[in-house]
Amino acid sequence: MNEPLLNLTDGAIDHSASQAMLLQRELRSIIEPDLLIESIQTPREPEKQGVLLLRGRLLRPSHIAFPRWQAELARRNFTPTLRSAAEEGEAGAPPEDVFVRIFPGVVKPGRPRVWINAVLFVLTVLSTLFVGSLYGETALVLNSPWDFLRPSNLLQGLPFAATLLGILAAHEFGHYFAARFHKVTVTLPYFIPMPLTFGTLGAFIQLKEPIPDRRKLFDIGVAGPLAGLVLAVPLLFIGLASSEVAVPPPNVPLMLEGNSLLYLAAKWLVFGEILPNPVTGRDVFMNQITFAAWIGLLVTALNLLPVGQLDGGHTVFAMFGRKARYANLATVALLTVFAVAGLPFVQNLLPGLDGVGYSGWFLWLFLILVMIGVEHPPALDDVTTLDTRRRIIGFIVIIIFILTFVPVPMRAI
């Protein structure tokens, strides 16, 4: 009674094994023209480890071979990854020795919900107009709290809002168009309204699929800060040229903006002196354009922190691969020092730390450790390295970070 059933089961197993062999042969045929295959494994957990693992030596440069693999496998609903044997733990392995994993499935971006982007942008326009109006040259007409929203009052914040949103938009659309150029699906920018402090918490775009290789990762990562900086620097000089320099009035609480090297140099070029002046006490009183451009420089520096999936994290990972973890950890350590140095009891114990200590870095440490992540995940092709032109641009971006970073963004005086 059981004999036919056993035969049926054996036949099903044979058929399944035959299908697996055919699939393995088909997938191998896609990879084989570009890879001298030395070993093949079939992992036990296909979803986590892939349906096929091939170790071998590249016969063509990875930036030529991998795009073909990716396109061919995507038609069959598979996704490849490429890793260096040396970085996978094989010490001394030559750079052309690699592992190729083939995973089931392809990430298919969903339909964008543009209305969310539009609503957030409108709210951010209102919140930046509101904050800008508080710095207006004309006193606001306020008969009730709702009068803050009167068009005549809000429009007083137009220089601030237009400058800041212009810089943020340039930054995010730099990412957006670089991603579209490389055929990586991304969302439109999401602006984050915040009717306090700066009027916004910034903006971001969301990648809807994995980045194919480190060259594309680099291009997308640096395009935003460079585009934002191209707009922020001229606007900073325009704002400074129309700002006043004077000695702050005594016994009046004020907020002192942080001096990055770039901001310090810009003030020296416009006014011919180091500001704040250590002798006379003179300092620049920022108008709306200057303040917004200064925020633009601050946003550039924060995004260029070389950690996680911030723009700076993208840049150093694309340049140095997994060795970028040293820059990631050093960044976290440095921010921790700045944050601890900003604690009141530490400043009481060690006077003079007000120039380097800022407790607001604790918030950034929380975001990095809990939400952004410290280390950067690899691209699908983690073997292709940057060409000379991109490496030069990468070092320029690192210099820009040094020039725009400020340990203490704001402090009361």
SS3 of 1-21: CCHHHHHHHHHHHHHHHHHHH
Secondary element (H or E) of residue 203: strand 200-204
Separation of alpha carbons 45 and 189, rounded Å: 37
Q: Are strands 200-204 and 190-193 parallel, antiparallel or unpaired?
A: antiparallel
How many CB atoms are closer than 10 A to CB 372?
Answer: 16
Q: How many helices (H) and strands (E) does the chain have?
A: 14, 10
* pLDDT of res. 114: 93
* pLDDT of res. 134: 85
DSSP class of residue 368 equals I
Give the residue among 95, 164, 154 at the shortest CA–CA distance from 383.
Answer: 95
235 and 386 in contact (C-beta within 8 Å)?
A: no
CA quadruple 245, 249, 250, 255: dihedral positive or negative?
Answer: negative
Helices (H), 304-405: 311-320, 324-341, 344-349, 361-366, 388-404
Amino acid in position 250 = P
pLDDT in tens, 378-412: 999 999 999 999 999 999 999 999 999 999 998 87
Give the residue among 33, 76, 72 at the shortest CA–CA distance from 54.
Answer: 33
* DSSP codes, 45-112: -HHHH-SEEEEEEESS-HHHHHHHHHHHHHHTTEEEEEEETTTTT-TT--TTEEEEEEEE--------
Please identify every stretch of the chain with a pLDDT value under 50, giving residue numbers as ranges: 1-13, 15
Q: Are strands 78-84 and 35-41 parallel, antiparallel or unpaired?
A: unpaired
144 and 153 in contact (C-beta within 8 Å)?
A: no
Is 0.85 topped by the overall pTM? yes
Report angle CA 307, 356, 270 to the nearest 5 degrees: 95
Separation of alpha carbons 216 and 213, rounded Å: 6
Separation of alpha carbons 276 and 292, rounded Å: 19
* pLDDT of res. 311: 97
Domain residue limits, the chain: 24-104
